[in-house]
């Protein structure tokens, strides 16, 4: 009987301590959550302020004024706009995937095999 | 009494059970029974206590498990005691997601006059930091015994730091939402503005309030920024290009005012709307100036010759004329003391396309008379020119319609004088002429083609619309709209020059010029309206101030700038207007 008494008393003390721990931990978590919420709100406000500032910097009137002052660009003429289909690509003659110029990019002019400072001559065929 | 008891050899006294009073004996019998052992009873009691405590612990254990498993619902919502209660508004974006209006948190300075210890010191320190505070008013406010008083709303962060460092008791800061318009000047009339309490009082901001935001604010919701942004149909780049060119044109031609609209004919969306002079919604004090009204929705004007397109469309649709019909324009029309003549008088018989390209008043009047007075009026009502046009903007103007409508009214209205409409309204009618015959009410919000088709009203036959597109392109190729042509975009257009009414008479020097352009004319997608109020002749215009000399070239510049933004690719292989209408007529058969 005395043993059960002892166990019961010990269990009582342990249970009380456990409950206290849990309550304390719950309060700490709640405070953390509240702090996170405040931080989220602050970050959102900062994001909004930065987006407003970015939009102010991207104001078309401001960009136009800066471009007119500092850049040599001119307004676009409709004749300057074409689509990819309208670009006259060079014709592909002698271009196969196996040759050393598969896309037909190399322009053959003159006697061929010209070497300059930037063009390396093709290896002479044996 | 003699009790027989065994005699003990040592003692002479007999051992007997104690004598209990008869009441206690009964109690003992009832409660304990006769044959229960006392020691066992104690054990039983202890056992009972153990069982009770075990039950209590079991209950506690079960409750602990339950609490750990269920979600925590008792976390206190920490109210932001440092923020004011006012009202967050949703962001307003343009059709590409650019920010047109947004909320920013700014500090506001308040005082609790009851807690202020030394009013003079407080006033001195505050006015040293913020010199624009009125000293007398400040002293009055701090000296009153109220609990709360605003001192200055929406101060900057530096000012807040400085006032904070002063360390005056009774002064504090609340963070408020302030509405910021990053590209304010571009979109002023369209977006409107708010008052210091973040309530919308003009433009789309007011429409937001009317839609339900005001009720939310009154009920106490919408205090933070968790709301979905509002997307408008306006394109900020097109809006800026339009505004820039209109400002340049107003300066070149010394016009009192300039206004323009870009409208999508298939959906009725307003891609850009500018009315100069305008104001900065970040500083809305200028908005009260009557010169800075939105001339497109709250002003009514006689649109002039652009109305001839509506007259011709009406005649073609009613079957009273075809593209091959002719009208006699040799002599001016006479109506009592009125005489109606042409500006570019040809003095011959004109076909319908020639009536349009030479902008003949006589021809238009005769076409309207051929349709009839009542049918003319009914047609104008059908395409929305006689009733007030209501859009999302809270401001609108009702057209000035003649009270008594007789033949002379029909004659003058046929070429655009005698009926004053809001320019946006006239553009809506034009849209019906260009998009195949459906009248779509214009809107500032995004709208898809299907939604537009659902609310559209059929007012013209498709063949009529086709004929009108051809006429518009012909006018740009050969007629008065030739200065509006932009190579590559197949622009069609109609000029309109109206004399303004001064002291009850039409004035020859004060003109209102406008130009309505459609692009591309073979499959219209956008309408552009440009309006100039009292443009003056310049050297380049050779002394002329009519629409073909000022509104038309301005429209050309605008179209060259905005067509790529609107997604139109230039096409240089287009046939002449004549060939195009034949091919499309053949295709449709």
Using H for helix, E for strand and C for coil, what is the string for A30-54? HHHHHHHHHHHHHHHHHHHHHHHHH
pLDDT at B551: 94
Nearest beta carbon to residue A55 from set B183, B488, B570? B183
- Residues above pLDDT 70, as percent of chain B: 89
pLDDT at B222: 63
B508/B562: higher pLDDT: B562
Number of domains present in the structure of chain B = 2
Split at pLDDT 50, 70, 90, the class of B81 is very low
First CA to last CA distance, chain A:
111
User: What DSSP element (H or E) covers B506?
Assistant: strand B505-519
Tell me: pLDDT of A24 over 90. yes
d(CA B148, CA B2): 101
Assess whether B196 and B260 both reside in one domain: no
Contacting residues of B for A8, CB less than 8 Å apart: 50, 53
| Pick from B340, B344, B563: nearest CA to B475 | B344
Structure tokens given for B570: 């230039």
pLDDT at B74: 47
Q: Where are the alpha helices (DSSP H) in B256-305?
A: none
State the burial class of residue A120 (Cβ atoms within 10 Å of its Cβ: 0-12, 13-18, 19+): exposed
pLDDT at B331: 86
* Half-sphere exposure at residue B264, Cβ-oriented, CA atoms within 13 angstroms: 22
CATH number at residue B487: 3.40.710.10
Buried b (16+ CB within 10 A) or exposed e, B6-27: eeeeeeeeeeeeeeeeeeeeee
Tell me: pLDDT of B556 over 50. yes
Test mutation, B104, B179, B245, B559, chain A, max A CBs within 10 A: B104
Residue B5 lies inside a defined structural domain of this protein? no
Split at pLDDT 50, 70, 90, the class of B132 is confident
pLDDT at B274: 95
Q: Which residues of B touch A (CB under 8 A)?
A: 43, 46, 50, 53, 57, 60, 64, 67-68, 72, 74-76, 78, 80, 98-99, 102-105, 180, 182-183, 185-186, 224-225, 236-237, 240-241, 244, 486-489, 560-561, 563-564, 569-570, 572
B316/B34: higher pLDDT: B316
> Across the strands, what pairs with B107?
B175
CB contact under 8 A, B564 and A56: no
Q: Do the Cβ atoms of B393 and B413 come closer than 8 Å?
A: no
Residue B33 lies inside a defined structural domain of this protein? no
Q: Is the dihedral of CA B412, B417, B422, B424 positive or negative?
A: positive
Tell which of B231, B266, B293 closes a domain: B231
Q: Do the Cβ atoms of B228 and B90 come closer than 8 Å?
A: yes
Give the structural domain span for B103. Answer: 92-231
Split at pLDDT 50, 70, 90, the class of B77 is very low
| Pick from B201, B292, B294, B184: nearest CA to B239 | B184
Tell which of B205, B231, B257 closes a domain: B231
A39 to chain B: nearest residue by CA?
A: B80
Structure tokens given for B358: 């030479």
How confident is the model over B510-531, as a mean pLDDT?
93
Distance, in angstroms, between A13 CA and closest chain B CA?
Answer: 12
CB contact under 8 A, B57 and A58: no
CB contact under 8 A, B569 and A81: yes
Residue B40 lies inside a defined structural domain of this protein? no
| Pick from B45, B177, B189: nearest CA to B102 | B177
d(CA B85, CA B222): 10
Contacting residues of B for A61, CB less than 8 Å apart: 183, 185-186, 240, 244
* Half-sphere exposure at residue B445, Cβ-oriented, CA atoms within 13 angstroms: 12
Nearest beta carbon to residue B104 from set A49, A79, A83? A49
Assess whether B399 and B258 both reside in one domain: yes
Tell me: pLDDT of B141 over 50. yes
Distance, in angstroms, between A45 CA and closest chain B CA?
Answer: 6
Assess whether B150 and B259 both reside in one domain: no
Nearest beta carbon to residue A61 from set B50, B105, B240? B240
| Pick from B308, B306, B304: nearest CA to B329 | B308
- Residues above pLDDT 90, as percent of chain B: 50
d(CA A10, CA B198): 63
Nearest beta carbon to residue B561 from set A41, A75, A79? A75
Assess whether B402 and B429 both reside in one domain: yes
First CA to last CA distance, chain B:
145
**How do residues B489-502 score in pLDDT, each as one tens digit?**
889 999 999 888 88
Q: Do the Cβ atoms of B484 and B478 come closer than 8 Å?
A: no
Cβ neighbours of residue B278 under 8 Å, at least 6 residues apart? Answer: B185, B188, B189, B243, B292
Distance, in angstroms, between B563 CA and closest chain A CA?
Answer: 9
Structure tokens given for B308: 């001839």
Three-state DSSP class for residue B88 = coil
pLDDT at B387: 93
Label residue B256 left, alpha or beta by phi (over 0 means left) and psi (-120 to 50 means alpha): alpha
Structure tokens given for B394: 């809270």
In degrees and rounded to multiples of 5, residue B256 shows phi and psi of: -70, -35
pLDDT at B29: 64
Residue B558 lies inside a defined structural domain of this protein? yes
d(CA B445, CA B267): 10
Contacting residues of B for A67, CB less than 8 Å apart: none
d(CA B191, CA B239): 12
pLDDT at B341: 84
CB contact under 8 A, A75 and B80: no
pLDDT at B336: 77
d(CA B203, CA B201): 7
d(CA B467, CA B191): 37
Structure tokens given for B297: 């929705």
pLDDT at B434: 94
**CB atoms near residue B220 (< 10 Å):** 9
How confident is the model over B569-586, as a mean pLDDT?
69
Three-state DSSP class for residue A126 = coil
Assess whether B166 and B291 both reside in one domain: no
Known active-site residue B305 = yes
| Pick from B46, B19, B44: nearest CA to B33 | B44
Q: What are the residue ranges spanned by the domains of chain A?
A: 2-70
Assess whether B189 and B295 both reside in one domain: no
**How do residues B432-468 score in pLDDT, each as one tens digit?**
999 999 999 999 999 999 999 999 999 999 999 999 9
Assess whether B219 and B277 both reside in one domain: no
Does the pTM surpass 0.90? The reply is no
d(CA B525, CA B265): 6
B335/B387: higher pLDDT: B387
* Half-sphere exposure at residue B464, Cβ-oriented, CA atoms within 13 angstroms: 23
DSSP-derived secondary structure for B406-426: -HHHHHHHHTT-S-EE-HHHH
B326/A106: higher pLDDT: B326
d(CA B173, CA B163): 10
Q: Where are the alpha helices (DSSP H) in B33-117?
A: 38-69
pLDDT at B365: 92
d(CA B16, CA B4): 10
Q: Which member of B188, B305, B420, B438 is catalytic?
A: B305
pLDDT at B580: 63
d(CA B364, CA B412): 9
CB contact under 8 A, B244 and A33: no
Cα separations (Å) of A6 from A3, A12, B44, B51?
5, 10, 18, 15
CB contact under 8 A, A34 and B78: yes
Tell me: pLDDT of A111 over 70. no
CATH number at residue B138: 3.90.1310.10
How confident is the model over A85-106, as a mean pLDDT?
70
State the angle between helix axes of B119-129 and B157-166 in degrees (0 to 180), rounded to the nearest 10. 150
Tell me: pLDDT of A80 over 50. yes
Kind of pairing between the strands at B92-93 and B230-231: parallel
**How do residues B241-299 score in pLDDT, each as one tens digit?**
999 999 999 999 999 999 999 999 999 999 999 999 999 999 888 888 888 888 899 88
Tell me: pLDDT of B575 over 80. no
Buried b (16+ CB within 10 A) or exposed e, B307-334: bbbbbbbbbbbbebbeeebebebeeebe
Least confident of A26-30, B153-157, B526-530: B153-157
Per-residue DSSP letter, B569: P
| Pick from B191, B175, B26: nearest CA to B110 | B175
Structure tokens given for A22: 């849990």
CB contact under 8 A, A30 and B76: yes
d(CA B46, CA B8): 40
Residue B265 lies inside a defined structural domain of this protein? yes
Tell which of B198, B231, B264 closes a domain: B231
Tell me: pLDDT of B79 over 50. no
B197/A122: higher pLDDT: B197
d(CA B192, CA B89): 14
Tell me: pLDDT of B162 over 70. yes
* Half-sphere exposure at residue B564, Cβ-oriented, CA atoms within 13 angstroms: 13
Task: Give the number of residues written for chain B.
Answer: 589
Tell me: pLDDT of B197 over 50. yes
> Across the strands, what pairs with B302?
B420
Contacting residues of B for A19, CB less than 8 Å apart: 60, 64
Tell me: pLDDT of A103 over 80. no
Three-state DSSP class for residue A95 = coil
**How do residues B353-387 score in pLDDT, each as one tens digit?**
999 999 999 999 999 999 999 999 999 999 999 99
Split at pLDDT 50, 70, 90, the class of A28 is very high
Least confident of B362-376, B496-510, B541-555: B496-510
d(CA B500, CA B424): 19
Size of interface A-B (CB pairs under 8 A): 95
How confident is the model over B552-570, as a mean pLDDT?
93
Tell me: pLDDT of A30 over 90. yes
Assess whether B199 and B258 both reside in one domain: no
Assess whether B134 and B265 both reside in one domain: no
pLDDT at B456: 94
Contacting residues of A for B104, CB less than 8 Å apart: 45, 48-49, 52
Contacting residues of A for B80, CB less than 8 Å apart: 38, 41
């Amino acid at each position: 009987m005395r043993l059960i008494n002892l166990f019961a008393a010990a269990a009582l003390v342990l249970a009380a301590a456990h409950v206290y721990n849990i309550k304390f931990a719950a309060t700490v978590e709640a405070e953390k959550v509240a702090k996170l919420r405040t931080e989220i709100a602050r970050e959102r406000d900062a994001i909004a302020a930065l987006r407003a500032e970015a939009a102010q910097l991207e104001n078309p009137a401001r960009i136009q004024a800066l471009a007119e002052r500092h850049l040599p660009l001119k307004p676009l003429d409709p004749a300057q706009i074409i689509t990819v289909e309208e670009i006259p690509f060079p014709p592909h003659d002698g271009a196969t995937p196996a040759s050393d110029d598969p896309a037909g990019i190399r322009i053959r002019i003159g006697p061929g095999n010209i070497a300059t400072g930037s063009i390396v001559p093709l290896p002479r065929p044996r | 009494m003699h009790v027989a008891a065994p005699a003990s050899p040592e003692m002479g006294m007999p051992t007997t059970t104690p004598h209990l009073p008869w009441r206690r004996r009964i109690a003992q019998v009832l409660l304990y029974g006769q044959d229960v052992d006392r020691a066992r009873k104690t054990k039983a009691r202890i056992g009972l206590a153990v069982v009770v405590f075990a039950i209590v612990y079991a209950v506690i254990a079960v409750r602990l498990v339950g609490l750990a498993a269920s979600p925590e619902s008792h976390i206190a919502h920490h109210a932001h005691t440092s923020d004011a209660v006012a009202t967050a508004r949703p962001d307003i974006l343009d059709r590409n997601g650019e920010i047109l209006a947004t909320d920013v948190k700014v500090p506001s300075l308040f005082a609790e006059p009851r807690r202020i210890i030394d009013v003079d010191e407080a006033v001195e320190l505050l006015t040293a930091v913020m010199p624009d505070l009125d000293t007398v008013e400040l002293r009055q406010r701090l000296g009153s015994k109220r609990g709360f008083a605003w001192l200055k709303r929406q101060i900057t962060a530096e000012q807040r730091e400085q006032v904070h460092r002063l360390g005056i008791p009774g002064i504090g800061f609340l963070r408020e939402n302030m509405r910021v318009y990053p590209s304010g000047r571009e979109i002023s009339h369209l977006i409107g503005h708010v008052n210091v309490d973040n309530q919308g009082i003009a433009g789309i901001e007011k429409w937001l309030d009317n839609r339900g935001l005001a009720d939310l604010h009154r009920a106490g919701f919408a205090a933070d920024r968790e709301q979905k942004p509002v997307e408008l149909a306006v394109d900020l780049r097109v809006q800026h290009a339009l505004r820039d060119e209109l400002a340049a044109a107003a300066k070149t031609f010394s016009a009192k005012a300039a206004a323009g609209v870009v409208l999508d004919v298939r959906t009725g969306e307003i891609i850009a709307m500018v009315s100069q002079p305008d104001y900065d919604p970040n500083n809305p004090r200028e908005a009260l100036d009557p010169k800075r009204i939105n001339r497109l929705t709250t002003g009514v004007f006689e649109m002039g010759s652009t109305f001839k397109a509506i007259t011709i469309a009406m005649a073609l649709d009613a079957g009273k004329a075809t593209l091959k019909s002719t009208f006699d324009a040799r002599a001016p029309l006479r109506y009592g003391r009125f005489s109606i003549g042409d500006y570019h008088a040809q003095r011959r018989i004109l076909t319908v396309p020639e009536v349009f390209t030479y902008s003949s008043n006589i021809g238009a009047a005769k076409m309207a008379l051929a349709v009839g007075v009542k049918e003319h009026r009914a047609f104008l009502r059908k395409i929305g020119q006689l009733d007030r046009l209501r859009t999302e903007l809270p401001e609108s103007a009702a057209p000035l319609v003649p009270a008594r409508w007789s033949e002379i009214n029909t004659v003058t209205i046929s070429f655009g004088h005698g009926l004053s409409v809001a320019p946006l309204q006239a553009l809506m009618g034009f849209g019906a002429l260009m998009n195949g015959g459906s009248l779509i009410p214009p809107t500032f919000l995004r709208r898809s083609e299907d939604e537009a088709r659902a609310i559209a009203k059929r007012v013209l036959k498709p063949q009529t619309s086709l004929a009108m597109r051809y006429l518009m392109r012909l006018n740009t190729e050969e007629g008065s709209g030739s200065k509006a042509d932009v190579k590559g975009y197949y622009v069609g257009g109609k000029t309109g020059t109206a004399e303004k009414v001064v002291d009850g008479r039409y004035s020859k020097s004060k003109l209102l010029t406008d130009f309505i352009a459609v692009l591309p004319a073979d499959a219209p997608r956008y309408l552009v309206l440009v309006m100039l109020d009292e443009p003056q002749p310049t050297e380049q215009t050779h002394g002329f101030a009519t629409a073909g000399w000022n509104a038309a070239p301005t429209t050309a510049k605008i179209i060259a700038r905005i067509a790529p933004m609107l997604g139109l690719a230039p096409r240089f292989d287009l046939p002449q207007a004549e060939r195009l209408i034949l091919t499309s007529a053949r295709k449709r058969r």
